[in-house]
Amino acid sequence: MRQAYRGESFMTDYPASLIHKEMRLGELRKLADSAGFPALLINHDKESVEGVISEFAYWRSLAIYGEEAFVDLSINKNFKMVNELAEIQNSAFFSAEFFIVPDSSGGFFVYEKDQLKNVWLKEQLYSTERMNDLLKEEIYILQKKVVELEQVINTSYDEIFVTDGEGKVLLVSDACQRMTGVPKERFLGENIYNLAKAGLINNSVTIDVLKKKKMVSAKQSYPNGVQVVATGIPIFDHEGNIYRVITNSRDITELVQLKNELAEAKSILNERSAEDLERGKGPLFTHNDDMLALIDMAKKVAVTESTILIQGESGVGKGILAKIIHEESLRKDRSFVSVNCGAIPLSLIESELFGYESGAFTGAKTKGKAGLVELADGGTLFLDEVGELPLEIQVKLLHLVQEKTFRRVGSNQLRKVNIRIISATNKDLKSMMEKGLFREDLYYRLHVVPLNILPLRKRVEDIPFLLQLFLEEFNEKYDRNVIISDESLAALRSYSWPGNVRELENMVEQLVVTASTDIVFLDCLPDQVKSGNGKPLVVMKGIIPLNDAVESVEKQLLNTAIDKYKTSRKIAAALKVNQTTVIRKLKKYGLSTTGIHPFSDLK
């Protein structure tokens, strides 16, 4: 079926007239009267189209040759057969004068070149206009996206810095002026090498990326004293050449200041806590008043012979405190024997503690063996997890504590030792005593000087200091230079630390060993820290001291308020307390005050 061009009225709905060369011009007059042109001349023998007679050609031939002349005198053989008009797609086809399209019924439609050319040109013009409209629409969408992208880039707290593969600066976010104190226009169009030469950027990460052709993270500094951690990422073209370098810079000036303050505080604390903290006793590195009082008490009783009971949850550093007490005592040059009472099988605990004579039991050495109590003679015996001892051993331990005498397994001979006993437990011995699981007389003998080490969640102000202490230790050990981002520090402060300082120490070692860059971002932290960041720390599993519950709720409320309100004034208004109270409690619980400004909401 014939395809008509858009909006053209010249298209006839009737097929062309078919004539034969034997016909005379006079016989075609009725076609002229009925507007039946153009007509097709058909060869009867070949049954093919030989040419086209237009109305103009007909009248011209009629005037010259008369009505008796044959029609072939008017024929135009410059035609082209096409299956449909859509085949005429460019001007090259217009070399023919006529175009003939076969009809499904066996007839033909004939179109003159000038008519089709006009339609074709209009169609091309329409397509061009439509394409122009589409391009304008695409340009508008792209311009809108560019504006949105610029808004995102310029509202970022971090500085975003983009260069090409030669180091020419193509884009700088608005944060640049805040960090450098220099308008971003000073950087645009300049080469990064020239900027570094001019002293505007020290230790340029972009230059390192261009040289090393890989992602680089490092500290940068600007002339105004601002320090940043910058991460540069190369973008490669299809040939493997650097096409762009995108650098993200985070202001760590406050973090560096905190690190310096930590170093200063460490120095002061070392002086206060003497050699115990100078030896790097990490879990007891503290700014907490209760912990400082505990250390002072430990130093006072260290020079005595009193029995000491150290209490605290697993991982708080009970063994380290016991070691410090020994090293501050008059026995510091003698043995310090540590016994983990919970790790020795019940069947062996008596022989391990007190030793045995030859033949005391099957498998015993022929000469017998001295126990741990004898090995500690003249020094200190540290009984860790003393609450795990069975009652029958508790009786013998009581005798050792009271009389400093004992008997080996399989012997009646009473042996005397000169030892100082320090015990430790993470259990409630008083409750065990009331239940008959721990001897009352032994409890009071061990409990002469009780020392209670706080769990880490109750001295959160120490977390940044301990974190820095362990970072320095493991960075040196593994030859790394890892630092913690502000977001990660906030998450670590908010975590409840069920494993206490031991968990913190192990986690820092893990982060230093596994970190792919020198900056530990929030997504690098273990899942329990990230998922625990927003969980309530108050979990009621029974009766707890009221003060502990109040402090836990206060900390939880302040954490929530920090996320919702950005100034101490708004936090105070929401909690219906004065602003001074909010600031004091934030410091008390060691909560992050990054981004909190006391008067930033005042007009």
Residues 197-220: pLDDT tens digits?
A: 888 888 888 999 999 999 998 888
The pLDDT value given to residue 225: 80
The pLDDT value given to residue 33: 64
What domain count does the chain have? Answer: 4
Q: Return the CATH number at 379.
A: 3.40.50.300
Interval 424-450: pLDDT, tens: 999 999 999 999 999 999 999 999 999
Cα–Cα distance for residue pair 206/216, rounded to 1 Å: 8
Interval 501-538: pLDDT, tens: 999 999 999 999 999 889 999 888 998 888 654 444 45
Asked whether residue 104 falls in the same domain as residue 204, the answer is no
The pLDDT value given to residue 477: 93
The mean pLDDT value for 336-341 works out to 94
Alpha carbon separation from 68 to 163, 332, 501, 502 (Å, rounded) = 86, 144, 121, 121
Q: Is 417 part of a structural domain of the chain? A: yes
Identify the three-state secondary structure at position 564: helix
Q: Is 4 part of a structural domain of the chain? A: no
Domain ranges, residue 327: 289-453
Write down which residue in 205, 235, 251 finishes a domain: 251
Q: Is 193 part of a structural domain of the chain? A: yes
- Preceding omega of 38 cis (within 30 degrees of 0): yes
Q: Is 126 part of a structural domain of the chain? A: no
Asked whether residue 299 falls in the same domain as residue 411, the answer is yes
Interval 112-127: pLDDT, tens: 777 777 767 777 788 8
Q: How many CA atoms lie within 13 A of 399 on its CB side?
A: 13
Which band of pLDDT confidence, cut at 50, 70 and 90, is reported for residue 285? confident
Q: Is 602 part of a structural domain of the chain? A: no
pTM of model > 0.75: no
Q: Return the CATH number at 184.
A: 3.30.450.20
Q: What's the mean pLDDT when you consider all of the chain?
A: 81
The mean pLDDT value for 280-288 works out to 68
Q: Is 374 part of a structural domain of the chain? A: yes
> Which residue has tokens 């000087």?
449
The mean pLDDT value for 446-455 works out to 95
Asked whether residue 399 falls in the same domain as residue 315, the answer is yes
The pLDDT value given to residue 341: 92
Q: Return the CATH number at 92.
A: 3.10.580.10
Interval 222-266: pLDDT, tens: 888 888 888 999 999 999 999 899 988 888 876 777 777 777 766
The maximal CA–CA distance of the chain, rounded, in angstroms, is 159
Asked whether residue 432 falls in the same domain as residue 513, the answer is no
Write down which residue in 94, 120, 146 finishes a domain: 120
Asked whether residue 444 falls in the same domain as residue 490, the answer is no
The mean pLDDT value for 100-107 works out to 77
Q: Does residue 486 contact residue 255 with C-beta atoms inside 8 Å? A: yes
For residue 253, the one-letter residue type is T
Residue 100: name the closest of 71, 124, 76, 70 by CA: 76
Least confident stretch, 2-16, 129-143, 391-405, 571-585: 2-16
Asked whether residue 560 falls in the same domain as residue 442, the answer is no
Asked whether residue 85 falls in the same domain as residue 213, the answer is no
Asked whether residue 439 falls in the same domain as residue 492, the answer is no
Q: Is 275 part of a structural domain of the chain? A: no
Asked whether residue 323 falls in the same domain as residue 421, the answer is yes
Asked whether residue 29 falls in the same domain as residue 92, the answer is yes
The mean pLDDT value for 328-355 works out to 92
Asked whether residue 495 falls in the same domain as residue 405, the answer is no
Alpha carbon separation from 497 to 204, 313, 455, 458, 463 (Å, rounded) = 38, 11, 8, 10, 10
Q: Is 563 part of a structural domain of the chain? A: yes
Asked whether residue 185 falls in the same domain as residue 107, the answer is no
The pLDDT value given to residue 418: 96
Is residue 328 scored above 80 in pLDDT?
Answer: yes
Q: Does residue 310 contact residue 318 with C-beta atoms inside 8 Å? A: yes
Q: How many CA atoms lie within 13 A of 1 on its CB side?
A: 2
